Amino acid sequence: MYFIDGLECGRYDRRVLAEFTRRVLAEFTKGGMAAVTITLSFWEDALETMDAIAAWNDLARANSDLVTIARTAEDIVAAADSGRTAVVLGSQNSSPVNDRLGFVELFTDMGLRVMQLTYNNQNAIGGSCYEPHDSGVSRFGREVIAEMNRVGMLVDLSHVGERTSFDAIKASDHPLAITHANPRSLYDHPRNKSDDLLRALAAGGGVLGLATYNNICGPYAQSPQAWCDMVARTVDLIGIDAVAIGTDLGQNSGPDRLEWMRKGKWTRSEQPGASLPGTPAPPQEWLRSTLQFPDIAAALRESGRFNEAEIEAITGGNWLRLYRQVFGS
């Protein structure tokens, strides 16, 4: 069984060393994780993202008994087979490419394997789930998606607007991911996705990582049992091959990072992020670190709704298949 968390937050660079400590990396391996896809950037541009990659390269070398940076699905299997966790470098924005098509390939060369088309704001590629009007995929966006297909970078639509997401699925020759979101029909939130969109994702071989982040789970965050009920309902909706996990966990996260995530460089005004007024979400208490990831597998088992093969698919197998298909070798 290869446990994979399709998305974790956290920000690591020279200035913010606290988030991925050796303790957190040790929790990856103690949790039995084959892979964790981490966040290199929310708003960071090319140089800032390169600083983050350089810092991760150093971090992985200094903790090579615990982690290794993976570029292929085979790297993940090899890491797991050696008792270590593969870190997959992801970005929650396309800001690293600095609006240059050629940089998609260069960042692939540097190890970036998963890139969200937009974070919370519209950019040159398309619209986000929080914009009043979603443009759909722009002309440049079509070029970027084709280039991501060519070089084997996984397209992530988690914070992307609905129209841009539909356009991206249509434009992409490869299956895509929604690494961390939930069905809007189960919990109505702008970050969550319509049934139609999720069906289109699944029809193309894509994968949805269900999040444990309380603000987008609503009542399903209250207990592992409630959350497993959301998993079962989502499997009923889009099939067992399309459902995985992207916790959206943030490690050692403080108010500084939250402010960076929400305000970035684009505003001085207060921003609620996913914590919307009128949708109070109970705190999620049962998954505080990656160490508890196996508890999800146990809860899925206890729910009696899945057989072992299905639990394997949800807890990592589906990500591994998608990564193998998209990343190439």
Nearest approach, Cβ of 293 to its own copies (angstroms)?
A: 30
First to last CA, the chain: 21
Q: Is 11 exposed, middle or buried (0-12, 13-18, 19+ CB in 10 A)?
A: buried
Q: Tell how far CA 96 is from the center of its chain.
A: 16
- Residue closer to its own copies by CB (options 17, 54) is 54
Given 1, 17, 54, 62, the residue binding its own copies (CB under 8 A) = 54
- Written as six digits, the tokens of 102 are 């050629």
Which of 180, 187, 236, 172 shows the shortest CA–CA distance to 210? Answer: 180
- CB within 8 Å of 211: residues ≥ 6 apart: 7, 180, 181, 182, 217, 246, 247, 248
Answer yes or no whether residue 99 interacts with its own copies by CB under 8 A.
no
Choices 53-61, 216-224, 236-244, 290-298; region in contact with its own copies by CB under 8 A:
53-61
Given 35, 36, 53, 320, the residue binding its own copies (CB under 8 A) = 53
Nearest approach, Cβ of 93 to its own copies (angstroms)?
A: 17
Q: Tell how far CA 258 is from the center of its chain.
A: 17
Nearest approach, Cβ of 101 to its own copies (angstroms)?
A: 8
- Residue closer to its own copies by CB (options 45, 131) is 45
Given 1, 17, 62, 101, the residue binding its own copies (CB under 8 A) = 101
Which DSSP state fits 206?
A: -
Given 48, 74, 99, 105, the residue binding its own copies (CB under 8 A) = 105
Pairing of strands 33-39, 3-5: parallel
Given 47, 62, 203, 309, the residue binding its own copies (CB under 8 A) = 47
Other Cβ atoms less than 10 A from the Cβ of 146: the count is: 15
Given 17, 22, 23, 58, the residue binding its own copies (CB under 8 A) = 58
Given 22, 100, 170, 288, the residue binding its own copies (CB under 8 A) = 100
Choices 36-44, 103-111, 234-242, 267-275; region in contact with its own copies by CB under 8 A:
103-111
Alpha carbon dihedral 226, 320, 53, 61, in 10-degree steps, equals 100
Answer yes or no whether residue 98 interacts with its own copies by CB under 8 A.
yes
Pairing of strands 3-5, 67-69: unpaired
- CB within 8 Å of 20: residues ≥ 6 apart: 10, 12, 38, 59, 251, 252
Nearest approach, Cβ of 56 to its own copies (angstroms)?
A: 9
Choices 45-53, 182-190, 208-216, 293-301; region in contact with its own copies by CB under 8 A:
45-53
Phi-psi group of 116: left, alpha or beta (phi > 0 → left; psi -120 to 50 → alpha; rest → beta): beta
Answer yes or no whether residue 55 interacts with its own copies by CB under 8 A.
yes
Choices 17-25, 51-59, 84-92, 227-235; region in contact with its own copies by CB under 8 A:
51-59
Nearest approach, Cβ of 271 to its own copies (angstroms)?
A: 29
Residues that bind its own copies (CB under 8 A): 46-47, 50-51, 53-55, 57-58, 98, 100-103, 105-106, 109-111
